[in-house]
Amino acid sequence: MRLMKETAPAAPADPAADPVADLAADLAAARPVRSGPPLAPGADRYLALDLANSDLAFPGSRDVDLLGTPESAREWLVTRELAPAETVLYDVCAGRLRALRDAVRALLSARVEDAVAPADAVRAVNDALTSAPSAALLHWDDVHGPYRAQAHPIDQIVNHAIAVLAADAADLLTAPDAARLTPCGATPCRRFLVRTHASRQWCSTRCGDRVRAARAYARRTRGTAD
């Protein structure tokens, strides 16, 4: 489910005056150039997994939160086609995205560990799910007459984005893919992935290489000590 799936009027008299066309043009002008490392397996299909993986940890305590500032959160949304390019986010908006991420991560962890889901995380996802109308609403104006379009005035962008992300989280958690969810096994990485095969433990080649190098080093050191 993506943001811009409106049922536009069949033939607007003046496309330049069509707010739906304007938004589509804005999105086309902001083609995704994602920040951060390559997506973990599954995050290409689940925006919620991509969201959960937006707080990155690298060796040497180098953490990068892709939602850490209003500007980086704006970029994250725009490059995932969850917001038009001209969106301006405030601190509170980035904070809401981070709060939803915390809830989604808690639910993914519970699913992986076969544990009871924290009630507040379930509630946070459900609140986000219902924070924006998902139905295409009826609009009626002098230019187009009656038509249906998703309701997403610019000040509702964040509500809509978190509703889309929460719906995707609910989809992921209830899909067969959820049985293949796993956290990356390479400390300190905290990304989740959907395993592409049973033995897959790393979110990326880089994480796998790091663990293999550490194991090889441990073997060499043991060999020296003996």
What residues line the site for Zn ion (CB under 5 A)? Answer: 184, 186, 189, 191, 203, 207
Nearest-approach distance from CB 108 to Zn ion, in angstroms: 14
Pick the closer one to Zn ion by CB: 147 or 192: 192
Pick the closer one to Zn ion by CB: 4 or 57: 57
3-state secondary structure (DSSP) of residue 164: helix
Nearest-approach distance from CB 170 to Zn ion, in angstroms: 25
Burial class (CB in 10 A: 0-12, 13-18, 19+), 115: exposed
Nearest-approach distance from CB 120 to Zn ion, in angstroms: 27
Distance, CA of 39 to CA of 50 (rounded, Å): 7
Written as six digits, the tokens of 182 are 């796993």
Nearest-approach distance from CB 186 to Zn ion, in angstroms: 5
Closest CA to 193 of 3, 22, 39: 39
3-state secondary structure (DSSP) of residue 45: coil
Pick the closer one to Zn ion by CB: 170 or 194: 194
Contacts of 119 (CB under 8 A, 6+ apart): none
Pick the closer one to Zn ion by CB: 93 or 186: 186
